[in-house]
Amino acid sequence: MYKLYTIKYFILCLAFSSFGNLASGQIVPEILKFKKLAAIIAKTDDTTRVFNFFASWCMPCIKELPEFEGLAQEKKHEKVKIIYVSLDFINSYQESLIPLMNKLALTQKVYLLNESDPNKWINEIDKNWSGAIPATLIVNHQKKRYKFIPDSISKSTLKKYLP
C-alpha cells in the first residue's frame, strides 16, 4: 500500500512540475532523434524550410539568432519556415538552452537533437559538413532547392537563398 501511495505522489509531483513550467509561459524545445528530424527535412510540400543548427554555448550562434527571428517575422506570410535545431547537451539543456530561448523570446520551432554520436548523422545533413556550428540548411524539395551554409550567416545573405 505504501508503494502505491509513493507512486501516486511521484506522478502527482511530476504532473504539477510540468504544469508549472507551462503555466509560467516558458518556451521549451521539442526533444527528438535524428530520424524524426530527417523526416521533417524530407517534407516535399512547397514550403522552404531554413534549419539553423546552433547551441547555447556557441557565441556566433547566439549572435545570429536575432537575424533568423527577424527573417521569420518578415516572411511570416510566405511559405518559409525557420526551424532551430539545438545541439546542446541533453543533460544540461534545462540550465542553458531554455533560459536562452526565453531570454531571446524565440518565436519559431526549436528542436533539441538527442543524439550522442554526431558522426552518425552529420553526413546526412551535408556530406562536406565538419559538424561546426553555426550552420544553416535551406531546403525546398518541390522546387529542388538545397543549400548548406557551414558558417554564420546574416539576414541579408540568407534572403538571397529564399523565394
- Give the Cα separation of 64 and 45 in Å (integer): 27
In a domain, 7, yes or no: no
Does 14 map to a domain? Answer: no
6 within some domain: no
Tell whether 93 is covered by a domain.
yes
What's the total number of domains in the chain?
A: 1
Q: Which domain holds residue 109?
A: 27-159
| Cα within 13 Å of Cα(26), Cβ side | 17
Q: Is residue 58 part of a domain?
A: yes
**Distance between CA 163 and CA 159 in Å, rounded?**
8
pLDDT digits (tens, 9 = 90+) for 5-34: 444 444 434 333 433 333 356 788 999 999
Q: Are 112 and 93 in contact (CB under 8 A)?
A: yes
The model's pTM? 0.83
User: Which CATH number does the domain housing residue 101 bear?
Assistant: 3.40.30.10
User: Residues 62-114: pLDDT tens digits?
Assistant: 999 999 999 999 999 999 999 999 999 999 999 999 999 999 999 999 999 99
List, in sequence order, every residue forming a beta bridge with 137; answer none if it has no partner.
Answer: 51, 148
78 belongs to a structural domain: yes
Domain-located, residue 4: no
